[in-house]
Structure 1
Amino acid sequence: MTRTVYVNGQYLPEGEAKVSVFDRGFLMADGVYEVVSVLDGRLMDFAGHMARLTRSLEALQITNPLADEQYLEAHRQLVERNAITDGMVYLQVTRGNPGDRDFAFPPADTVPTVVMFTQSKPGLADAPAAKTGWKIVSVEDLRWGRRDIKTVQLLYPSMAKMEAKARGVDDAWLVEDGKVTEGTSNNAYIVKDGVIVTRALSHEILHGITRAAVLRLAAEAQMRVEERSFTIAEAQQADEAFVTSASAFVMPVVEIDGEPVGEGRVGEVATRMREIYLEESRKTAI
């Protein structure tokens, strides 16, 4: 089946979808994005993703071209037209096509570009890796300073993922000034003596929507949470480790830089948090 995508208000076969070569998303990575997971044909954490989209656009002074209700309708249309049961909807908003290339922002009335497409991921919540855990390596964090804005400039995270792949593992944790910032496309956590530890929100990390939900659910489950930085050495000595993201949900980490975390197997806290998160998300999906 040919995939249907959304481009600036039109639903098109993917082979007919086009964006100008002068679009600033293409020329300058001048845009932001969100990824909403779909389980059982329903959208997860949609309101949180829309709130972060608005925040990212405002930080870059890009006018939000659609209301949340319009984004929701487009997401639902794409899920239906592409028969998505489990998967994701990718949304990208750029500053648009000013008709030429210039470092300066174009006139304020330049119409932003909006693109959306789906990815089918059958069995998304039943990933085998959730039973075995990820192995990761540490990589120096060389990204720009505003990682809290979910921009489309993903070259360095892609390079870090490829380094992890070349080293035979699943992902990388990025390290700055001796402390873990986050994963290449996820937030990072360790567990020690029953306490969940993750870096506090700032410009240095993405304000993860799944992160917010997991920390709220952990508090409701009477689990202790500390928002602070930690080192790779501390992570290697932890009882457990895991990451969170919109597509991985809660994913255990069992090895860091060749050293096992805890007993080198998936731990109870990560397993429980994944169960709680998926259960709650299925209840609240729209």
Structure 2
Amino acid sequence: MTPNVADPVYLNGRYLPLAEAGVSPLDRGFLFGDGVYEVIPVYSRRPFRLDEHLQRLAATLAGVRLADPLLVDGWRDIVFRLIAAAPWEDQSIYLQVTRGVDDKRDHPFPPASVSPTVFAFASPLVTAPAELRVTGVAAITVPDLRWSRCDLKVISLLANVLARQQAVDQGCAEALLIRDGTLKEGTASNIFVVKNGVLLAPPKTQLMLPGITYDVILELAAAHHQAVAVREIAEAELRAADEIWMASSTKEVLAITTLDGQAVGNGRPGPLGERMWQWYQDFKTTVMRKT
């Protein structure tokens, strides 16, 4: 066990200490990044929208032509056993499937006799500290150089890693990805824009990962009669925004108050973002911790 990974972890049908878990260097996840993953937030030991997360995992597996190694009940059993064994009330469950271990390095799929590698573990779910909510965070924009199936949650994340490190190198929290003059998402978050009281959200396409938190925010906006437009957001609109937020299960709703060194709006978290954050906290208390 480490401060960030609980014992036991799950690996290919076994629950064992992290220190004893090992994967062959010929695993295609290691050699090619040939695999998929899913991350499930857990509140008060209750996984949030587990069915939706497992549906997204199944869709990604199908998208990369990797047979699902487990039935839904099998995935659910792994998730609940890891939750029960971990010491934290709020957690993040990580699931990963690779195409398995071949006897050589070769691009085509291995024989059907090669079993996928399945790995899963629990980590603490750590949200943004209060001081960041007060000030907001800085972000940069970068060209979106990823492939064209960003809707698939695959482990081949080098383009995201490089973009995020570019942000870190400049003292920023996130890099916003721009493709063909429009905003897509962050490297590890969905991005929302507010202009003239309207909440703008990029549409779900193959160029954006369909985030579960993204869905929650749009549902909360509808429940509170907040005006929303789901459409492509031009880079010029992004730069002229009154508010910009990043959203994920760990960031929840976090204001971006500086973009490429320029203040967003008045340089402080905006009123709609503050309301959405409170709606999200209320939802977390009344729904996420009770379902």
TM-score when normalising by structure 1:
0.93
Is the CA contact 1:136–1:255 (under 8 Å) kept in the aligned structure 2? yes
* Residue of structure 1 aligned with 2:161, choices 158, 163, 183: 158
Does 1:241 find its partner at 2:251?
Answer: no
- 1:44 is matched with 48
Q: Residue 156 of structure 1: CA displacement?
A: 1.1
User: Offset of 1:266 from its aligned partner?
Assistant: 1.0
Report the alpha carbon displacement of residue 125 of structure 1 after superposing the two structures with TM: 6.6
2:97 is aligned to 93
Q: In the alignment, which residue of structure 1 is the partner of 2:220?
A: 217
Structure 1 counterpart of 2:19 = 15
**4+ runs deviating over 6 angstroms:** none
Query: Which of the residues 183, 186, 194 maps onto 2:189?
Result: 186
Give the superposed CA RMSD: 1.7
Counterpart mapping for 1:223-262 below 5 A:
223-262=226-265
**What are the Cα deviations for residues 65-108 of structure 1, in whole angstroms up to 9, with x where unaligned?**
11222222212221222212223111111111223221101123
Q: Is the partner of 2:79 in helix, strand or coil?
A: helix
Per mean C-alpha deviation after superposition, the further-off stretch among 221-230 and 26-35 is 221-230
SS across alignment from 1:190 = strand
Structure 1 residue 62, shift from structure 2 partner: 0.8
Match 1:137 to one of 133, 140, 143: 140
The alpha carbon displacement at 1:114 in A equals 0.9
Which residue identity is paired with 1:22? L
Residues of 1 paired with 2:142 and 2:277: CA distance? 26
Matched residue SS, 1:160? helix
Matched to 1:40, the amino acid is S
- Give me the whole-angstrom Cα distance separating, in 2, the residues matched to 1:46 and 1:281: 15
Are 1:82 and 2:86 counterparts? yes
Q: Are residues 1:170 and 2:173 paired? A: yes
Check whether the contact 2:41–2:125 (CA below 8 A) recurs between aligned residues: no
Q: How many residues align?
A: 285
Counterparts of 2:132 and 2:42 in 1: how far apart (Å)?
A: 19
Alpha-carbon distance in structure 1 between the residues aligned to 2:46 and 2:39: 14
**Kept after mapping to 2: 8 A contact 1:35/1:246:** no
Gaps of 5+ in 2: none
Aligned equivalents of 2:202, 2:125: Cα separation in 1:
30
Could you tell me how far apart the structure 2 residues matched to 1:133 and 1:279 are?
21
Deviations 1:106-137 (A, max 9, x none): 12343111111122245x37554233212100
Distance 1:45 1:279 in 2: 17
Separation in 1, partners of 2:281, 2:54: 20
1:279 maps to: 282
Alignment check: 8 A CA contact 2:191 2:201 kept: yes
Check conservation: 2:83, 2:91, Cα contact below 8 A: no
What's the offset of the Cα at 1:233? 3.1
2:67 maps to 63
Amino acid at match of 1:235: L
Q: Secondary structure at the match of 2:60?
A: helix
Gap change, CA 1:84 and 1:177, over 3 Å in 2: same
CA 1:121–1:55: 2 relative to 1, 3 Å: closer
* Structure 1 unaligned blocks of 5 or more: none
Segment of structure 1 superposing worse, 264-273 or 196-205: 264-273
Question: TM-score if structure 2 supplies the norm length?
Answer: 0.92
Question: Is 1:114 paired with 2:131?
Answer: no
1:54 to 51, 58, 65: 58
Report the more deviating stretch, 104-113 or 248-257: 104-113
* Change over 3 Å in CA distance of 1:67–1:273 after alignment to 2: farther
CA apart distance, 1:44: 1.8
Aligned with 1:206: secondary structure? coil
